[in-house]
Each structure stands twice: as C-alpha cells, then as structure tokens.
C-alpha cells in the first residue's frame, strides 16, 4: 500500500506549485505524477512516486551510504583494535550515530 517507486523526471508541465505535473520515467515506462510536494525537483532529478504523487526527491549522496556502511564499520573496528593496543584503558571512539 505504501509502495513507492523511484523514477526520473523527464519533463515538467505547469508553473503553479500546487498543480505542477511531471513526466516520470520508471525504467522505460513513462507516467504522469504530481510534483506538488517536491517544489525543489527539476528535470533529471529522481523522485519517489506514490499513487501519482512524488513524495521525495532522492538524495544522490545519501543513496550510496548503504554500500559504504560496512566499510565504515570495518575501519571503525580496526581503529578500536589499534586504540586498544596502543592505549590503556581503551578509548571508545565517538561514532556517527544519527545518519
């Protein structure tokens, strides 16, 4: 029910923020979507579309975090291990929690 699919805006119709519509490309399938809730979105942006409405513009930088998270954890545990060897008592490195 809350299914929402990412697609790329290929064209935009209208200037009124409340009725602005976009043509969105979902892997080759084109569909109209309301852009009323993504006033910042432009042609070329990826948006998440739910029941005919774009509800979020995808953040390209944030989108890669899932691929880097394990490496970050690995670096962190190496850091912790070397800290444990070098210092006593071991310091607990501050970790980025709110991502």
Partner 1 sequence: MKYLDEYRDAELARKYAREIARITIRPWTLMEVCGGQTHAIVKFGLDELLPKTITLIHGPGCPVCVTPLELIDKALEIASRPDVMFCSFGDMLRVPGSKADLLSVKAGGADVRIIYSPLDAVKLAQANPTKEVVFFGVGFETTAPATAMAVFQARNKAVKNFSLLVSHVLVPPAIEAILGAPDCRVQAFLAAGHVCTVMGFEDYIPIAAKYRVPIVVTGFEPLDILQGVLMCVEQLEKGRATVQNQYSRAVSQEGNRPAQALIREVFRVIPRKWRGVGEIPRSGLGLNEAYAVFDAESKFGLAELQIEEPSECQSGLVLQGRIKPNECPAFGTRCTPEHPLGATMVSSEGACAAYYRYRREPVTA
Query: Which of 10, 52, 82, 90 is close enough to bind partner 1 by CB under 8 A?
Result: 52
Note whether 88 binds partner 1 by CB under 8 A.
no
List the structure tokens of 54: 């774009």
Q: How far is CA 44 from the centre of its chain?
A: 15
Note whether 16 binds partner 1 by CB under 8 A.
no
**R_g (Cα) of the chain, nearest Å:** 21
Query: Which of 13, 14, 26, 42 is close enough to bind partner 1 by CB under 8 A?
Result: 26
Q: How far apart are CA 44 and CA 22, in angstroms?
A: 11
Question: Which residues are registered as beta bridge partners of 1?
Answer: none
Note whether 23 binds partner 1 by CB under 8 A.
no
Contact 9, 21 (CB under 8 A): no
Q: Interface residues with partner 1 (CB under 8 A)? A: 1-6, 8, 17-18, 26-27, 34, 36-39, 46, 48, 50-53, 55-56, 58-60, 62-63, 65-67, 69-70, 73, 97-99
């Amino acid at each position: 029910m809350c299914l929402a699919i990412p697609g790329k805006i290929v064209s935009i119709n209208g200037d009124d923020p409340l009725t602005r519509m976009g043509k969105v490309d979902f892997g080759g399938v084109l569909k109209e979507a309301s852009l009323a809730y993504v006033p910042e979105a432009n042609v070329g942006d990826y948006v998440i579309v739910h029941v005919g409405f774009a509800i979020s513009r995808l953040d390209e930088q944030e989108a890669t975090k899932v691929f880097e998270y394990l490496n970050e954890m690995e670096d962190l545990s190496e850091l912790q291990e070397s800290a444990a060897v070098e210092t006593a008592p071991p310091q607990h490195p501050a970790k980025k929690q709110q991502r």
